[in-house]
Amino acid sequence: MAKSPLGRVEMLADHFGAGKEMIMGLILGHDSGDDNPWFDAECGRQPLNEDFGQRMQKIFDSHNLSFDLDYFQRWVADAVNEPDRTMERIVNQLKETGIKVGLLTNSVPEFWPVIEQTINTKSFDCIVDSSRVGIRKPDEWIYKLTARKLGTQTNSCVMIDDLDHNIKGAEQAGMAGILFTSAEETEYAIKRFFDI
């Protein structure tokens, strides 16, 4: 229901003096098996503190880049995001037809105020936040937990995400997946899935 914060990676790329894809790879890692401080932050095991900065600097060292913890902390906590009105509308339409809607997010505690300022979290029947449950997408368990909190089976759910590997994780857990490309295309795919 909000524009993806991944679009803001360009700000990091400009600040750190590297390409957007490189910065995404350095910070977000490549898979959940990576020893990555951001993954640990998203699982609630690593605050965005000096230890986080030192761990991230080791990753940046391999590319002769400096990691600026102060800038990164502001990038996370002071983010300005905007709601996606099309997605808000489809969530409301789903709820009006009796379909439960959950918010499943990989997030860090420092970003929650931004989420709450951007979207109405009360619109959801359940919220599963990786930093609160200790596991993150694309681990199958988090999708199964979300389905359970919604009171349904994974094969009755559709997962919408803007990252392909998160969709693949949902599909491995038994959910259908819709890769978010635009709000309009996603709305069409959701309506087709639920036949509304």
- The string over 156-187, giving b where at least 16 C-beta atoms fall within 10 Å of a residue's C-beta and e elsewhere, is ebebbbebeebbbbbbebebbbbbbeebeebb
Distance CA(8)–CA(95), nearest Å, equals: 30
In CATH, the architecture of 85-194 is 3-Layer(aba) Sandwich (3.40)
pTM of the model: 0.89
Render pLDDT for 113-170 as a digit per residue (tens, 0 to 9). 999 998 999 999 999 999 999 999 999 999 999 999 999 999 999 999 999 999 999 9
Residue 30's pLDDT band (boundaries 50, 70, 90)?
A: low
Q: Where are the alpha helices (DSSP H) in 36-181?
A: 37-42, 50-61, 69-77, 85-96, 112-118, 130-133, 140-150, 164-172
Render pLDDT for 74-88 as a digit per residue (tens, 0 to 9). 999 988 778 889 999
Q: What value does the mean pLDDT take over residues 184-196?
A: 92
Residue 110's pLDDT band (boundaries 50, 70, 90)?
A: very high
The predicted pLDDT at position 35 comes to 81
Domain residue extents for the chain: 5-77, 85-194
pLDDT above 90: residue 101: yes
Is the model more confident about 35 or about 59? Answer: 59
